[in-house]
Amino acid sequence: MITAGLQLRNLREKLGLTMRDVETGTERLARKYGNEEYFIPISRLSDFETKGVIPSIYRLYSLGVLYRRDFRELLRWYGVDLDLAVTDVETCAPPRSHLSRILATTEMARIPVRIDPSFDPRKTMNFGRIIEQWGAVPLIYLEQLAKTPYTYGYVGSEDLTMYPLVPPGSFIQVDESRNKVSEGGWRSEYERPIYFIETRDDHVCCWCTLTKEEIILQPHPLSPVLPRICRHHEAEVLGQVVGLAMRLGEWRSVPELAQVPRGPAALN
């Protein structure tokens, strides 16, 4: 494995710069900014290249200027990627509401750029499986779409199973590691786990109840959709819904909708 120090040395030699050149150049930067932290003496440069010593932010900036390399690239050599992942932001949740600027300067994210032409917006489906190609665009908040252990589902525009809790047309984030149905422990419907289920015929976003031989796919009480009973081998729990993206202000009038079940295995 090539160390960051060795990469610095290779880059300097490729440019034909001597250690004395680096010392002289960084001395000029230090005078320009009135800060001796930009200055890199020969002995310290040798430490960077051969002893694994990590430069300060000022000296790393100086090296970037002299070596004609972006400061972000040099930081990545030392394991610091400024295009941080969304999961890094989630390591701490400030208790007060705030305007987040942490991702404002990130450069690239991966989002779907080619969708399977069979995609039908009326049906609920596993969104991750219909993505044929990913592309890089400056939308970092969508980066998680390309990463495990999450998959993503789309609730069909005609799927009212969890309405009004999960409206039709919503995108859901599914944690595939939580694919075991919980038997209880919640205090209200808002805490009750919602699961993403794949049956032989379709996908369902719903609550679940297990019996010895069957799994009951339960809709929201206000939904016109009826519960369904499936054998365990007929329905696979893909995971628990842990995120939801939906549009507000487009609520539907449920009483006007027909009281019809979804799928062939409705509960009588």
129 SS3 class: helix
- Give residue 133's Cα distance to chain centre: 17
Six-digit token string for 210:
């297990």
**pLDDT tens, residue by residue, 198-232:** 998 889 999 999 999 999 999 999 999 999 999 99
The answer to whether the Cα torsion of 20, 23, 26, 31 is positive or negative is negative
What does each C-alpha distance from 9 to 1, 14, 16, 60, 125 come to in angstroms?
A: 15, 8, 11, 13, 52
**Which CATH number is 4-77's, of 3.90.1300.10, 2.160.10.10, 3.30.40.10, 1.10.260.40?**
1.10.260.40
- Which residues touch 78 (CB under 8 Å, ≥6 apart)? 4, 54, 60
Neighbouring C-beta atoms of residue 178, cutoff 10 Å: 17
**Which burial class, exposed, middle or buried, applies to 202 when counting CB atoms under 10 A from its CB (0-12, 13-18, 19+)?**
middle
Residue ranges covered by each domain of the chain: 4-77, 121-128+140-256
- Which residues touch 249 (CB under 8 Å, ≥6 apart)? none
What percent of the chain has pLDDT above 90? 51
Q: Residue 185: left if φ>0, alpha if ψ -120 to 50, beta else—which one?
A: left
pTM for the whole structure: 0.51
**pLDDT tens, residue by residue, 26-73:** 999 999 999 999 999 999 999 999 999 999 999 999 999 999 998 889
4-77 and 121-128+140-256: identical CATH topology: no
- The CATH class of 121-128+140-256 is mainly beta
**pLDDT tens, residue by residue, 100-151:** 566 555 555 555 656 677 777 778 777 666 666 655 554 445 555 555 578 8
